[in-house]
Amino acid sequence: MFRILIIDDETDILEFVKYNLSRDGYEVYTACNGSEGLRTAVEVRPHLILLDMMMPVMNGVETCRAIRSSDELKHTMVVFLSALSQEEAQLTGYEAGADDYIAKPIRMNLLRSRIGAIMKRIEADSHAAADATAGITLDREHFVVRTADGELTLPRKEFALLELLISSPGRLFTREKIYSTVWGKDVVVGDRTIDVHIRKLRQKIGGEHIVTVKGVGYKFE
């Protein structure tokens, strides 16, 4: 199921769009400002973010730039929803890294059509750009890992951990980097949390791929 995050400070818009997209079969999350939206995005890893441009705390342009600079959100599509229809505002959105721009007031049929087209692109890209490393293929859409022995569905945190390690084979990821990327900077977890998840991954995909650098972190080879 495709995951969509709506970030907007207008409660009526959040409820209206969430209601309609949920009926269309999407898994929908909401946030009322950019700061909250970033935290939610890191947690749920949406395929698409619908982002208002004018918001308190952190506006849409700032939020979009933060999304584009985030390792864990770099594959997420971003569409601005804004009452600012001037060309200059739209260009600002695209320059910040947006993939599309839809003017308010929202016409639900148009929004559905644009989202449908985006999801087709995401699905095609997911199949075409699946990460194949050491015989391991990641399917980000379904949290599935395929190996020579078959395929298995991983829990989200295990998948996110493997996705991080496999993104740069040979690169050493410190424990601090893993914590902040997979669990988020504001989440407190036990000291052994990473070790437990690494052990489970080794059991599932083979222990030879994930290398421990004692006292520092892990890398994928």
Q: What's the per-residue H, E or C state across the chain?
A: CCEEEEECCCHHHHHHHHHHHHHCCCEEEEECCHHHHHHHHHHHCCCEEEEECCCCCCCHHHHHHHHHCCHHHCCCEEEEEECCCCHHHHHHHHHHCCCEEEECCCCHHHHHHHHHHHHHHHHHHHHHCCEEECCEEEECCCCEEEECCEEEECCHHHHHHHHHHHHCCCCCEEHHHHHHHHHCCCCCCCCCHHHHHHHHHHHHHCCCCEEEECCCEEEEC
- The per-residue pLDDT of the chain, averaged, comes to 86
Q: What is the structure's pLDDT at 93?
A: 84
Mean pLDDT for 14-23 is 95
45-79 per-position pLDDT tens digit = 899 999 998 898 899 999 999 998 887 787 789 99
83-140 per-position pLDDT tens digit = 876 677 788 888 888 888 888 888 999 999 999 988 888 776 655 444 546 678 888 7
Of the chain, the percentage scoring pLDDT greater than 90 comes to 40
162-208 per-position pLDDT tens digit = 988 888 777 888 888 898 888 887 767 777 889 999 999 999 988 88
Q: Name the architecture of domain 3-128.
A: 3-Layer(aba) Sandwich (3.40)
What's the topology of domain 131-220? Arc Repressor Mutant, subunit A (1.10.10)
Q: What is the structure's pLDDT at 184?
A: 81
Domains of the chain, by residue range, sit at 3-128, 131-220
